[in-house]
């Protein structure tokens, strides 16, 4: 099944922003959540997959997305843009609020089918990245790991970076790993195929 046959990926819009459970959409459409460090490229990933320039707001300033943003895709599935973690200039109480919001969504949301966990392909994963992966594993939430900004490293180094990242995560074989760039659209087909496979 190709994505073209299943859904019109260009028919997408922001549905709502939610701070807690009471604001989540009340239906049973499948959801795909995007998690990752602030500035890693979550919103860019959404825009690339939906073929839109600025549907999900991107910024060079980290820490911008403060709520869970739900995007409706052709009335068949939703992307949920989760605020980034690991941004230093955030107060302790803000961080705690953030943690509660993410945890509530990831742990209680029946609609959630898979988490796309984004990491920066240029660097070793941070402690926050590893903690997020272990959290997802603990709750048995399927993970698609997406290594972003592949355009910033030479193709000849991709394999080495992939091994390094997988090793740091103690990566499980039945999780997916995709090399991605929102600049070149590297990984676009694989990302859609994998997401649809998980629904
Ligand atoms: P928060 O919402 O703050 O958590 O950030 P985010 O994860 O949504 O990141 P965002 O998509 O806003 O991207 C952050 C910056 O990285 C922007 O300047 C993007 O243009 C840039 N960026 C994202 N993906 C890529 C990529 O694949 N390649 C390159 N070269 N730049 C990228
Ligand atoms: Mg964002």
Residue-wise pLDDT for 74-112, tens only, equals 999 999 999 888 776 778 888 888 889 999 999 999 999
The pLDDT of 59-87, averaged and rounded, is 83
Query: How many angstroms is it from 38 CA to the middle of ligand 2?
Result: 7
Beta bridge pairs of residue 31: 78, 112
* Residues within a 6 A CB radius of ligand 1: 36, 38-44, 58-60, 62-65, 83-84, 148-149, 151-152, 181-183
The pLDDT of 2-30, averaged and rounded, is 88
- How many Å apart are CA 114 and CA 31, to the nearest integer? 7
Q: Whose CA is nearest to atom 5 of ligand 1?
A: 39
Q: Which one of 36, 37, 44, 149 would you pick to mutate in the ligand 1 pocket, going by the greatest count of ligand atoms within 8 A of its CB?
A: 44
Neighbours of ion ligand 2 (CB under 5 A): 42-43, 65
Query: How many angstroms is it from 47 CA to the middle of ligand 1?
Result: 10
Q: How far lies 4's CA from each of 1, 114, 116, 193, in Å? A: 8, 20, 21, 11
For residue 91, what pLDDT is reported?
A: 80
Q: Which residues of 166-186 are buried (b: 16+ CB within 10 A; e: fewer)?
A: beebebeeebbbbbbbbeeeb
Give pTM, 2 decimals. Answer: 0.93
Q: Whose CA is nearest to atom 24 of ligand 1?
A: 41
Per-residue pLDDT of 21-49, as tens digits, reads: 999 999 999 999 999 998 899 999 999 99
Q: Which one of 36, 49, 58, 71 would you pick to mutate in the ligand 1 pocket, going by the greatest count of ligand atoms within 8 A of its CB?
A: 58
Query: How many angstroms is it from 49 CA to the middle of ligand 2?
Result: 14
For residue 98, what pLDDT is reported?
A: 85
For 139, list phi and psi in degrees, rounded to 5.
Answer: -90, 10
Ligand 1: atom nearest CA of 152 is 30
Residue 136 predicted with pLDDT over 50 = yes
For residue 4, what pLDDT is reported?
A: 54
Residue 34 · residue 13 · CB < 8 Å = no
Ligand 1: atom nearest CA of 36 is 7
The pLDDT of 102-126, averaged and rounded, is 97
Query: How many angstroms is it from 182 CA to the middle of ligand 2?
Result: 13
For residue 143, what pLDDT is reported?
A: 96
pLDDT bin (cut points 50, 70, 90) of residue 6 is: confident
Ligand showing the shortest atom-to-Cα distance for residue 119: 1
Residue 54 predicted with pLDDT over 90 = no
For residue 1, what pLDDT is reported?
A: 47
Which residue is associated with the tokens 């970076």? 161
> Which is nearest to 37 in space by CA: 101, 86, 82, 110?
86
The pLDDT of 64-72, averaged and rounded, is 83
Per-residue pLDDT of 146-194, as tens digits, reads: 999 999 999 999 999 999 999 999 998 888 999 999 999 999 999 999 9
Residue 5 predicted with pLDDT over 60 = yes
- How many Å apart are CA 83 and CA 104, to the nearest integer? 13
Q: What is the percent of the chain where pLDDT is above 70?
A: 93
Residue 32 · residue 116 · CB < 8 Å = yes
Residue 138 predicted with pLDDT over 70 = yes
């Amino acid at each position: 099944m190709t994505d073209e046959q299943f859904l019109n990926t260009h028919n997408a819009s922001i549905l709502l922003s939610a701070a807690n459970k009471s604001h989540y959409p009340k239906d049973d459409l499948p959801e795909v959540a995007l998690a990752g460090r602030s500035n890693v490229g979550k919103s860019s990933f959404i825009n690339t997959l939906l073929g839109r320039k600025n549907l999900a707001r991107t910024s060079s300033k980290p820490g911008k997305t403060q709520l869970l943003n739900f995007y409706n895709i052709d009335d068949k599935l939703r992307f949920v843009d989760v605020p980034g973690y690991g941004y230093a200039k955030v107060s302790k109480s803000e961080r705690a609020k953030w943690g509660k919001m993410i945890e509530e969504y990831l742990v209680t949301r029946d609609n959630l089918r898979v988490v796309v966990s984004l990491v920066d392909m240029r660097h070793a994963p941070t402690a926050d990245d590893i903690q997020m992966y272990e959290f997802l594993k603990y709750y048995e939430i399927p993970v698609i790991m997406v290594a972003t900004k592949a355009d910033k490293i030479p193709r000849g180094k991709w394999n080495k970076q992939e091994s390094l990242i997988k090793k740091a995560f103690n990566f499980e074989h039945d999780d997916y790993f995709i090399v991605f760039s929102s600049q070149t659209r590297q990984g676009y087909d694989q990302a859609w195929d994998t997401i649809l496979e998980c629904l």
